[in-house]
Amino acid sequence: MRNFVALVMRRQGYTVLSAADGREGLDKSLGHEGKIDLVIADLEMLGMNGVELCLRILDERPGTKALIISGADLDGIASPSGAVAFLSKPFGPLELREKVRGLLAPPAMLAASL
């Protein structure tokens, strides 16, 4: 799954830091000097789960977005303060690209006329 996600994201022009597990992901994040816009993590990983990894990275890098992917039913998992989005497996490149685009898009300006 990691290789699939990395390939799809690289083909869209994103720079990807890939890690084999939660601990390596956290280490790479802490050691990376540039900006990290989005963390994509599987819910079930060795060392720490994806939600824990994302929250730890978001704590160190405010403003970073997070996407958790899982084959499990994600309906019962609450996103702490809306900081984490979810995508259920199986998914294809189109669903992944759309989800990432939605997370990284600037907030829409809304206007209302009453």
Nearest to 96 by CA among 1, 25, 26: 1
The whole-number average pLDDT for the span 94-110 is 82
With respect to residue 66, please indicate whether it lies within any of the assigned structural domains: yes
| CATH code, domain carrying 67 | 3.40.50.2300
109 pLDDT band, cuts 50/70/90, is low
The whole-number average pLDDT for the span 75-99 is 80
State how many domains the chain has.
Answer: 1
With respect to residue 45, please indicate whether it lies within any of the assigned structural domains: yes
Global pTM value: 0.83
The predicted structure's pLDDT at residue 111: 60
With respect to residue 114, please indicate whether it lies within any of the assigned structural domains: no
Q: Are 39 and 25 in contact (CB under 8 A)?
A: yes
With respect to residue 91, please indicate whether it lies within any of the assigned structural domains: yes
Tens-place pLDDT, residues 51-72? 899 989 999 998 899 999 988 7
Owner of token pair 């540039």: 34
The predicted structure's pLDDT at residue 107: 63
With respect to residue 49, please indicate whether it lies within any of the assigned structural domains: yes
With respect to residue 86, please indicate whether it lies within any of the assigned structural domains: yes
In terms of residue numbers, what domain contains 88? Answer: 2-104
- DSSP-derived secondary structure for the chain: -HHHHHHHHHHTT------SSHHHHHHHHHH--S---EEEEESS-SSS-HHHHHHHHHHHSTT-EEEEEESS--TTPPPGGG-EEEEESS--HHHHHHHHHHHHSPPPP-----
With respect to residue 88, please indicate whether it lies within any of the assigned structural domains: yes
Nearest to 74 by CA among 111, 105, 102, 42: 42
With respect to residue 111, please indicate whether it lies within any of the assigned structural domains: no
